[in-house]
Amino acid sequence: MVLNLKIIFLFFGLFFYSGEVTDEIVAALKQGKTAELVKYFDEKLSIKISNQEDVLSKSQAEANLKYFFEKHAVKNFSGSHVSSTNNSSQYITGTLETNNGKFKVSILIRRGLISQFRIEDDNE
């Protein structure tokens, strides 16, 4: 009985917490704050920035993202759409406006951590 209650509380805790995570990730993107985004990176994640794609450690991904934001100062992140793929995964998409143009962003969050992060040229 106690185990069942713990599982129920864990499930609802993850469910309600993930909404806050997406809000915080969107806020960090709007401000171009690498340090705030990295808080939600998994230890290893699939990352694509422009044409470079790889599976990187959290620290390697942080360095790549920091370099991107240094070269592309963020003006805004808009049009974000958040959807749930199942109980433990969410997907965020939107447009990142920078001083050097627009980029499509897509983020996969599993169990409250970013497991896939993509910034691609927006060919409008």
pLDDT in tens, 76-107: 998 777 777 666 789 999 999 999 999 999 99
Q: Which phi-psi region, left, alpha or beta, contains residue 111 (left: φ > 0; alpha: ψ -120 to 50)?
A: left
| pTM, rounded to two decimals | 0.80
Reply yes or no on whether the pLDDT at 75 is more than 60: yes
Write down all domains in the chain, each with its CATH number in brackets: 2-121 (3.10.450.50)
Q: Which phi-psi region, left, alpha or beta, contains residue 51 (left: φ > 0; alpha: ψ -120 to 50)?
A: alpha
